[in-house]
Structure 1
Amino acid sequence: MLELLEQTPFSFAQTGLKVPDELRIAGFKIRQANPFDPQVAGTLLHATIRGVQLDLMYVGLRYGEAARWRSVMPLSFDTFQGQWRLRAHDLESADFPVKSFVVSRMLDAQVSMNKKPKGLRLESGEIPVRRYRAKLNPRMTADQRLVIGRELGLNAKGEALISDSAFFHFKKTYMKSHLEGEESLVWPLVVELERMT
Structure 2
Amino acid sequence: MMEDRILFILRRTYWVGNTRRQDLVDAFNLKNPQRASEAIDKALKLYDKYLERWGARGGVTWRDGVLPPPEAAPGKIFALLQQGAPFHETGIRTNTELPVRLQYREAYRPDDESLEMIMRGILEQKLTRVLYVGLRRREVARWRWIVPRSLEFTGRQWRLLGFDLSDDTETLKSYVLSRIQDIQYDTPPRGQSGRVQQLHERPLDYKGGVYKVDLNDNLTPDQRIAIKQELGITGTNLQISDRDVYEFMRLYGDAEPSSEIVWPPVTGIRKLETRKD
TM-score, normalised with respect to structure 1: 0.74
Question: For residue 86 of structure 1, what is the aligned residue in structure 2?
Answer: 160
Structure 1 stretches of 5 or more lacking a match? 178-197
Residue 129 (structure 1) shift: 3.7
Q: Does the 8 Å CA contact 1:4/1:10 hold for their aligned counterparts? A: no
1:59-101: per-residue Cα shift (whole Å, max 9, x none)? 0111111111111111111111131111111111113221111
Higher relative contact order (CA 8 A, sep 6+): 1
* Larger CA Rg, structure 1 vs 2: 2
TM-score, normalised with respect to structure 2: 0.54
Residue 155 (structure 1) shift: 0.8
Residue 114 (structure 1) shift: 2.6
Structure 2 stretches of 5 or more lacking a match? 1-73, 256-277
Judged with a 3 Å threshold, the aligned counterparts in structure 2 of structure 1 residues 164 and 103 are, in CA distance, closer, same or farther, namely: farther
Instruction: Give 1:4's aligned amino acid.
Output: I
Question: For residue 69 of structure 2, what is the aligned residue in structure 1?
Answer: none
Secondary structure at 1:25's aligned position in 2? Answer: coil
Judged with a 3 Å threshold, the aligned counterparts in structure 2 of structure 1 residues 117 and 176 are, in CA distance, closer, same or farther, namely: farther
- Cα RMSD over matched residues? 2.8
Judged with a 3 Å threshold, the aligned counterparts in structure 2 of structure 1 residues 86 and 164 are, in CA distance, closer, same or farther, namely: farther
Q: Does the 8 Å CA contact 2:107/2:158 hold for their aligned counterparts? A: no
Secondary structure at 2:203's aligned position in 1? Answer: coil
Q: Quick check: 1:7 aligned with 2:86?
A: no
Q: Does the 8 Å CA contact 2:107/2:155 hold for their aligned counterparts? A: no
CA distance in 2 between counterparts of 1:169 and 1:72 reads 22
Instruction: Give 1:46's aligned amino acid.
Output: R
Judged with a 3 Å threshold, the aligned counterparts in structure 2 of structure 1 residues 96 and 13 are, in CA distance, closer, same or farther, namely: closer
1:125-147: per-residue Cα shift (whole Å, max 9, x none)? 45334322110011122222122
1:1-197 equivalent positions in 2, closer than 5 A? 1=74, 4-8=77-81, 9=85, 19-29=94-104, 31-115=105-189, 116=192, 118-119=194-195, 121-122=198-199, 123-156=202-235, 158-164=236-242, 166-176=244-254
Deviation >6 Å, runs of 4+: 10-15
Judged with a 3 Å threshold, the aligned counterparts in structure 2 of structure 1 residues 34 and 22 are, in CA distance, closer, same or farther, namely: closer
1:6-37: per-residue Cα shift (whole Å, max 9, x none)? 4222769978x6645443332213x4444424
Question: Which has more strand, going by share of residues?
Answer: 1
Secondary structure at 1:135's aligned position in 2? Answer: coil
